[in-house]
Each structure stands twice: as structure tokens, then as C-alpha cells.
Structure 1
Amino acid sequence: MAATSASSAVAHRTRRCSPIGWFSMRAKPEGLARADRRVTWTVSVYRRSGDTEVHEYTSHRLDSPEQTREHMRLARERPWVSRIALTELVRETSRRAIGEDELPDRGRPPRRVAAPAGGRLVAHFYEMEGLAAARPLSADDVRCRLHWLRETAAGSARLPGGAGAGSAVVVLREITVVDFARPTTEGALPPHPE
């Protein structure tokens, strides 16, 4: 009996490709913008020290009106408190579907987004929705990924047996995050849920 070589005993490996055989991007994105709004509150407590008022502490961001009311109640029970300030914090995240042609030129910063009156722009980036691991990207990152997807799609289309027979629809989104902070009162908090 002849000995078989180690290389012939190993099973043949098949080449695996990306499951994305082709992808498409919408030329005219559907829907303009979608905005998410998150409201939180902080309670700041002040005390007197001689003739001056001193900031004692500020709570963490409170997610519910009930928690905020409880912090206010506890602060009022302390005899040394001279003033309680309530701040409403709003974070607006807008997601606007865009076309590839709306990306800034290579190596250029994204278009300047003016923050609305009273707001502060805290983030501006892009996402590619429809692919696994969507995460914040720069315009150059988006171009690089699109190039890679096109190359992968072109390569898998040439393979025998339709090895890359899958598809993906990619939606490119411009994400803008704006924070607002304004003083408010306990009476302006949303009512208790019944």
C-alpha cells in the first residue's frame, strides 16, 4: 500500500466570498429627515457662604420627571440650600438620507451645519445603513467602503457557480447631533402618568 502525501489527504477548500454579490444605493433617497429627541433634566443645588452663593452640586442627567421631582424634593429638605436650579437638556439627533453625490469632496471637511438658535452642534458624521456594523463614519470612510463594496461585487460576479449570490441595499445617512440646555421650573415638567 502506497503512502499518501499529506497534501492529498487534506480536503479541498472552497473559496468563500462576501455574501454581497451586488449592492445598490438609492439615487433619490426616500424620506428627507428623521429626528430623534431625548429630554433629560439636571438639578443644581446652591448654598450661601457669607455673602456669596456657592454651587454645591449638580445631579447626573435624570431620565424621568418623577426622578427629577424626587431630587427637587430632597434638595428642598436640606436646611443649608439657598437655591435650586432645574435645567432641561434636549438632544436632537437628525438622520437625513443622502445620495453619494452629496458627500463633501475627498479630503474636505463635511458641510458646515449651523446649530439652531440656542443649540450646540456636538456631532456630525455619516452612517451606511443596510450593512452589518453600522457605525459613525467620515465622508472619506464612506467612499472607501463604497469602493470596497463595488470591487467585492465585481469580483464575486466573475466567480463560477454564483458564489456571491446575495444583495444589499445601502442607505447613506448624514447624522447631526445638537444639544440644547435651558432653565426650567418644576411646574413645567411633564405631568405624572396616570
Structure 2
Amino acid sequence: MPVDDDLVRAAQEALFCEQVLSKGGETVLRATLRDAPVAAWTHYPANDVFDPVSGGQWYYHCHLPPEEAEHGHFHCFVRPDGKDGPVHHLVAVGVDAHGRLQRLFTVNQWVVGDTWLDAEPSIALLERFDMQMPQPSYLANRWLTAVLRLYGAEIATLIRQRDVALATHPTTDGTPVREDRALEVTSELRVDLMARVKDLGL
């Protein structure tokens, strides 16, 4: 089966960002936190990162104490109508304490409080997520963009699975399913960047 050139470029960019950061003793996570004291649920950076050209937006946060395999995750959004327009959550990207990719997952609406979009219009926004911003780290921004490119097909599947999970989730007290605190993670996939790179023949 021929290798998809777009996937190869995305994998190369993700690796490049990690390698350049590593030369300076940095990781994607360190470049994001900038030695800030880590507090549960706090957004890093404080006002999120927003690209006014693409409409892409993200923030990092963690739950303390961190899970054994996962330190925290990047929540990735798109604002297709600009900074003051509605914001739509696409996917969360989990990393370990060394900034290594661990998993991709979707969440129920109450988790992030975004403006709801069904699966197909959400998937159509994936290509809009393109973070060309200098802060908190240009390399961290490009790494995150590359991850969403590299796993675009898988993320699309996760978003569809999210809607299935919501459609089939039982509620007993009349709470709307997208507000049901009993349902937080709606779909997830464990991922390994180096294994994906190997699969692509790099």
C-alpha cells in the first residue's frame, strides 16, 4: 500500500519539533509549562493559545495527582468565525511527564463548555487547526498541529464514536446527556508516535 505523503510530512514535523526541543534540554511539555507551578485544572497558558488566521485554539491542563501514564492533555478547538465566535472542541491530546504522546480522546460537552457541533461538521474543522503562533513555544504549536494531521483519520473516528456514545448513554434522572457528569470521556485511542513513524517507514 502506498504511503500517504501528507502523513509522512506530519510525522517528520512532529519528530523534528521533538528533536529540536531535545537539543535544548526541552520537551513539548516543558516548552508549554515554562516552569510554571502546576495546579490541577489550570489552563496553560493562562489565556489559551489562539491563532487569529486559522481559528485554532488550545490549552493544556492536568488533573493532580497525575495519572501514572499521563501527566495531562492539550484540549484542541477551532473558532471558525474568529476570536469572538463560537468555539468547538475537536480532541484532547494526552502526554506523559516527558511530553511523549500517550492518547487521543474526546469529551462530553460539559467538560469543556464549547458550542456543540455534531460529528461531521466537527470533523470538517480538523484541517482548520493550524497553530502558527510564537507563544508559549512555536515548536510546541507546530508539534500539536502535526499530531492532529498525523492522526486525522483516527480523530475523525473518535469524533464519530463520541456521538454514538452520547446517543446510547443511558440517563436515569432526566439530565440531558451532554450535561451528564457520569459521562466524561466519550472515546479514546492509545497512540505511540515512534510506532507510527516506524509504520510509515521513517
Per the normalisation by structure 2, the TM-score is 0.23
The higher radius of gyration belongs to 1
Structure with the bigger percentage of helix: 2
* Larger RCO (alpha carbons 8 Å, 6+ apart): 1
Structure with the bigger percentage of strand: 1
Per the normalisation by structure 1, the TM-score is 0.23
